[in-house]
């Protein structure tokens, strides 16, 4: 009985279509000596590749190969699972009796390759196909080909637009011309990056920041920077002659300033940079800061000094041109908002805005339970009242230590209360109008007494005192610089004006040794970012795209049983929920990165829909649900990563990050 289909003609037609339509270069055929089964779990396909084609193309494990079936006219993408090689003596079943053969000509044998089928599309209509799971039987002698970039992009369903992660990587090498990108909507569903120290996390994050700014119109990128990496995005890479992305032309740096920082550099501020400002910008040669007549001039001189200190530490020998400052107030007290200038480093120039940052305790103490996660849940509920009562005792001159020692006496809170004033923002009242951290720390007994009178347990009183002392040591509350009876205050910026696009760096270098305590800075800034975008949303507009890069995320969002013991789990997870679940509709996308995911809060693992794993150990990969990729990334080269996301048809691809696009610390 004859066959109704001319199989030979069909095979020739399929081969011609693969070549003429640029799907790839034929290298072999599905084996005729094996039964091909599609549909069973773990189905595999054997492929025979002639020796010369095997050598020319260098097929390796994890390489992609295409299959064009000769009966049904289907295209299949497969991944190489095994490569089998045999000497000719092995093929004929012969083996030397006494010693191994040295007949190297016998190595010129076909390679047998084991493929795992991934996706399929019809040959006709391939250009518009949406790949599906492989259902079609794969015929023996079907055409096997090295796939073209077009074929790979279609069969892997790689997004054509979005933020660049790197180049497709398979078989131990980069696949030229095939980019791995994450579309913007995937970024709003958040990303987790893991990788051991030196695996390329920071390079990847910095490149992603540049890609976000270049590819997402009007976007704002906020980078939390503990090591001082992100200001270098304004400088070119000295060894990358053809970068894909140019350095940023301007950036904003939010620099939390501590009291210790101002005192430690007072000599340079007053004796060098402050004098330089008076001479170069005001023409007052020989003048000193103590000679200035108003706080506004002192504020500008301080701002100039802070700018020069930052430039010295980050950019080294650089020129400053076009200095400008925003100052409020006057007379004997002024507020420094920001300073900016054009910075010239080598042959590069960019605009830098430096925003000195501090908090007023009287403005934020009510919010402390939500932005400083060291206070327990019970303490958080009652903390503002404890602090207000303690300040009332202090203002009335109560001997709190004596009251504590007389357990049977009345609590001072029963005495008539002082006249009260409106809180900042008009919300509630505060006795005497000010709750002062310095006074509370000096009169710690009043804090303990207020807590006791409100019937808090000793553990809760201890929690309050420890938290207040952490804030005191951090030194970012009520920061003031005073010279000659004139003072400059530092406070928070206008976040609405700040978050209007471009790169913003939250400089946390001063807190490398105490990143946990610095969580109040992180939580406060992140809360304000959310609020700004929330106002835009509620106003009927479309919020500006905002991407937040958080390296060393375990410092700020720990898992209680593995992370920082004192952190309030509810506060931590409330912030995570705000940024992730609520942030999506406000067009906020967060990239969390860590080298110790064991210490990272579980909620982040659940709410990041894309995982990127650079070189990591097996137990680390298991923690984030990527254990099956151990063979690919446990010993991977720097920058090689498995990207697991719902946006890819195969759920995961391997990519290699592009080289640093700008200056990196390794270039110094």
Which helix (H) or strand (E) element contains residue 547?
strand 546-550
Residue 501 near residue 247 (C-beta atoms within 8 A): no
**608 CB burial (10 A radius; 0-12, 13-18, 19+):** buried
Query: Tokens standing for 519?
Result: 């969580």
Residue 282 near residue 310 (C-beta atoms within 8 A): no
First and final C-alpha spacing in the chain:
77
Residue 584 counted as domain residue: yes
Q: What is the three-class DSSP state of 490?
A: strand
Q: Which of 60-64, 205-209, 379-383, 659-663 has the highest mean pLDDT?
A: 205-209
Give the model confidence (pLDDT) of 67-96 as tens digits. 999 888 899 999 999 988 777 555 555 555
Q: Quick one: what percent of the chain has pLDDT higher than 70?
A: 90
626: left (phi over 0), alpha (psi -120 to 50) or beta: alpha
For position 136, what pLDDT does the model report? Answer: 84
Q: Are residues 13 and 142 in the same domain?
A: yes
Please name every residue paired with 181 in a beta bridge, in sequence order, or none if there are none: 164
Q: Are residues 173 and 137 in the same domain?
A: no
Q: Are residues 141 and 11 in the same domain?
A: yes
From the list 312, 297, 304, 294, the residue with the least C-alpha distance to 269 is 304
Give the model confidence (pLDDT) of 107-125 as tens digits. 788 888 999 999 999 999 8
For position 419, what pLDDT does the model report? Answer: 37
Strands (E) across 151-212 are located at: 163-170, 173-182, 191-194
Residue 148 counted as domain residue: yes
For position 640, what pLDDT does the model report? Answer: 96
**What is the band of 35 on the pLDDT scale with cuts at 50, 70, 90?**
low
For position 263, what pLDDT does the model report? Answer: 96
Q: Are residues 150 and 203 in the same domain?
A: no
Q: Tell me the backbone φ, ψ of residue 624, rounded to 5 degrees.
A: -105, 15
What's the mean pLDDT in 421-426?
Answer: 36
Q: Does the pTM exceed 0.75?
A: yes
Please name every residue paired with 344 in a beta bridge, in sequence order, or none if there are none: 319, 349
Which helix (H) or strand (E) element contains residue 233?
none
The angle, 0 to 180 degrees and rounded to 10, between the axes of the packed helices 444-453 and 458-474 is 150
CA distances to 185, 196, 371, 494, 510 from 528, in Å? 23, 31, 11, 10, 21
| Out of 249-253, 439-443, 581-585, 662-666, least confident range | 662-666
- Say how far apart CA 151 and CA 126 lie, in whole Å: 9
Residue 237 counted as domain residue: no
Residue 526 counted as domain residue: yes
| Out of 22-36, 370-384, 631-645, least confident range | 22-36
For position 102, what pLDDT does the model report? Answer: 64
- Say how far apart CA 224 and CA 593 lie, in whole Å: 11
Query: Tokens standing for 401?
Result: 């230590």
Sign of CA dihedral 113, 116, 118, 123: positive
For position 57, what pLDDT does the model report? Answer: 86
> Tokens 């020739």 sit at which residue?
12
Which helix (H) or strand (E) element contains residue 475?
none
Q: Are residues 606 and 519 in the same domain?
A: yes
- Say how far apart CA 473 and CA 517 lie, in whole Å: 9
Give the model confidence (pLDDT) of 234-275 as tens digits. 999 988 778 899 999 999 999 999 999 999 999 999 999 999
Q: In total, how many domains does the chain have?
A: 3
Residue 355 counted as domain residue: no
Residue 277 counted as domain residue: no
Q: Are residues 569 and 607 in the same domain?
A: yes
Check pLDDT > 80 for residue 503: yes
- Say how far apart CA 455 and CA 177 lie, in whole Å: 68
Q: How many CB atoms lie within 10 A of CB 326?
A: 18
Higher pLDDT, 226 or 6: 226
For position 91, what pLDDT does the model report? Answer: 54
Q: Are residues 527 and 648 in the same domain?
A: yes
Q: Are residues 191 and 119 in the same domain?
A: no
- Number of helices and strands in the chain (H, E): 23, 24
From the list 640, 612, 614, the residue with the least C-alpha distance to 172 is 640
Query: Tokens standing for 490?
Result: 């530092």
From the list 531, 532, 511, the residue with the least C-alpha distance to 521 is 511
Longest dimension (CA), the chain: 112
CATH of the domain at 212: 3.40.50.300
- Say how far apart CA 357 and CA 521 lie, in whole Å: 9
Higher pLDDT, 127 or 429: 127
- Say how far apart CA 308 and CA 273 lie, in whole Å: 7
Residue 477 near residue 371 (C-beta atoms within 8 A): no
Helices within 216-320 (DSSP H only): 259-264, 266-268, 274-282, 295-314
Q: Tell me the backbone φ, ψ of residue 55, rounded to 5 degrees.
A: -70, -45
Q: Are residues 517 and 461 in the same domain?
A: no
The angle, 0 to 180 degrees and rounded to 10, between the axes of the packed helices 377-395 and 458-474 is 70
Strands (E) across 574-664 are located at: 588-594, 610-613, 640-645, 652-656
Check pLDDT > 70 for residue 428: no
CA 123 from centroid of its chain's CA atoms: 41
Q: Which of 121, 155, 189 is the last residue of a domain?
A: 155
Check pLDDT > 90 for residue 641: yes
Give the model confidence (pLDDT) of 366-377 as tens digits. 999 999 999 998
Q: Which of 98, 132, 155 is the last residue of a domain?
A: 155
For position 8, what pLDDT does the model report? Answer: 76
Half-sphere exposure of 416 (CA within 13 A, CB side): 2
CA 294 from centroid of its chain's CA atoms: 43
Give the model confidence (pLDDT) of 160-210 as tens digits. 999 999 999 998 899 999 999 999 999 999 999 999 999 999 999 999 999
Q: Are residues 144 and 193 in the same domain?
A: no
For position 668, what pLDDT does the model report? Answer: 57
Return mean pLDDT, the chain.
89
- Say how far apart CA 160 and CA 532 lie, in whole Å: 31
Residue 487 counted as domain residue: no
Strands (E) across 201-296 are located at: 220-225, 250-256
Check pLDDT > 80 for residue 606: yes
- Say how far apart CA 222 and CA 207 lie, in whole Å: 14
Query: Tokens standing for 119?
Result: 């996706």
Where in the sequence is the domain holding 170, given as residue range(s)? Answer: 163-226+508-663
- Say how far apart CA 46 and CA 83 lie, in whole Å: 10
Please name every residue paired with 46 in a beta bridge, in sequence order, or none if there are none: 114
Q: Are residues 390 and 459 in the same domain?
A: yes
Residue 123 near residue 73 (C-beta atoms within 8 A): yes
Q: How many CB atoms lie within 10 A of CB 331?
A: 9
Residue 209 near residue 231 (C-beta atoms within 8 A): no
From the list 380, 484, 411, 400, the residue with the least C-alpha distance to 443 is 400
Residue 512 counted as domain residue: yes
Residue 379 near residue 369 (C-beta atoms within 8 A): yes
- Say how far apart CA 504 and CA 365 lie, in whole Å: 26
Q: Which of 135, 155, 175 is the last residue of a domain?
A: 155
Q: Are residues 170 and 139 in the same domain?
A: no
For position 601, what pLDDT does the model report? Answer: 94
């Amino acid at each position: 009985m004859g066959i109704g289909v001319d199989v030979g003609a069909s095979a020739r037609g399929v081969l011609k279509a693969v070549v003429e339509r640029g799907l790839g270069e034929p290298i072999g055929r599905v084996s005729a000596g094996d039964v091909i089964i599609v549909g069973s779990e773990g189905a595999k396909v054997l492929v025979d590749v002639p020796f010369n084609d095997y050598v020319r193309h260098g097929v390796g494990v994890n390489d992609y190969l295409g299959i064009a079936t000769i009966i049904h006219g289907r295209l299949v993408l497969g991944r190489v699972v095994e490569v089998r090689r045999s000497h000719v003596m092995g093929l004929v079943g012969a083996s030397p009796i006494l010693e191994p053969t040295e007949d190297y000509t016998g190595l010129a044998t076909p390679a047998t390759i084991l493929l795992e089928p991934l996706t399929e599309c019809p040959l006709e209509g391939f250009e518009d196909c949406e790949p599906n799971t492989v259902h079609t039987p794969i015929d023996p002698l079907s055409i096997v080909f090295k796939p073209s970039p077009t074929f790979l992009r279609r069969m892997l369903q790689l997004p054509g637009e979005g933020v660049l992660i790197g180049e497709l990587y398979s078989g131990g090498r980069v696949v030229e011309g095939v980019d791995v990108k994450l579309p913007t909507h995937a970024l709003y569903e958040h990303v987790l990056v893991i990788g051991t120290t030196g695996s390329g996390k920071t390079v990847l994050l910095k490149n992603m920041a540049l890609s976000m700014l270049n590819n997402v119109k009007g976007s704002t990128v906020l980078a939390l920077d503990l090591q001082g990496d992100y200001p270098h995005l304004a400088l070119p890479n000295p060894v990358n002659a053809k970068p894909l992305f140019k350095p940023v032309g301007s950036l904003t740096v939010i620099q939390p300033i501590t009291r210790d920082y101002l005192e430690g550099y007072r000599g340079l501020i007053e004796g060098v940079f402050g004098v330089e400002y008076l001479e170069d910008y005001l023409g007052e040669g020989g003048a000193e800061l103590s000679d200035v007549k108003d706080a506004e001039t002192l504020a500008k001189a301080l701002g100039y000094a802070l700018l020069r200190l930052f430039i010295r530490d980050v950019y080294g020998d650089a020129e400053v041109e076009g200095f400008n400052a925003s100052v409020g107030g006057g007379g004997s007290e002024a507020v420094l908002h920001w300073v900016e200038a054009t910075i010239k480093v080598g042959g590069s120039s960019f605009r830098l805005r430096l925003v000195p940052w501090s908090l007023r305790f009287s403005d934020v103490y009510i919010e402390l339970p939500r932005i400083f996660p060291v206070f327990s849940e019970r303490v958080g509920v009652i903390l503002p009242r404890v602090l207000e009562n303690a300040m009332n005792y202090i203002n009335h001159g109560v001997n709190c230590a004596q009251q504590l020692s007389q357990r049977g006496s009345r609590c001072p809170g029963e005495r008539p209360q002082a006249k009260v004033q409106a809180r900042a923002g008009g919300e509630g009242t505060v006795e005497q109008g000010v709750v002062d951290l310095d006074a509370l720390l000096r009169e710690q007994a009043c804090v303990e007494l207020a807590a006791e009178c409100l019937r808090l347990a000793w553990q809760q009183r201890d929690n309050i005192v420890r938290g207040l002392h952490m804030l005191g040591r951090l030194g970012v509350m009520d920061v003031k610089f005073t010279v000659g009876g004139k003072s400059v205050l530092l406070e928070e910026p206008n976040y609405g004006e700040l978050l209007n696009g471009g790169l913003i760096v939250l400089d946390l270098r001063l807190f490398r040794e105490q990143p946990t305590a610095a969580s109040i800075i992180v939580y406060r800034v992140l809360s304000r970012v959310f609020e700004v975008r929330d106002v835009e949303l509620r106003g009927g507009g479309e919020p500006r795209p905002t991407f937040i890069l958080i390296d060393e995320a375990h410092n700020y969002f720990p898992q209680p049983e593995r992370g920082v013991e004192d952190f309030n789990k509810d506060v931590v997870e409330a912030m995570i929920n705000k940024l992730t679940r609520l942030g999506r509709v406000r067009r906020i996308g967060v990239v969390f990165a860590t080298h110790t995911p064991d210490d990272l809060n579980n909620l982040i693992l659940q709410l990041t829909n894309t995982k990127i794993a650079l070189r990591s150990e097996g137990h680390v990969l298991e923690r984030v649900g990527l254990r099956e990729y151990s063979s690919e990334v446990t010993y991977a080269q720097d920058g090689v990563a498995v990207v697991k996301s719902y946006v890819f048809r195969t759920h995961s691809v391997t990519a290699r990050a592009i080289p640093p696009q700008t200056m990196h610390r390794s270039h110094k």
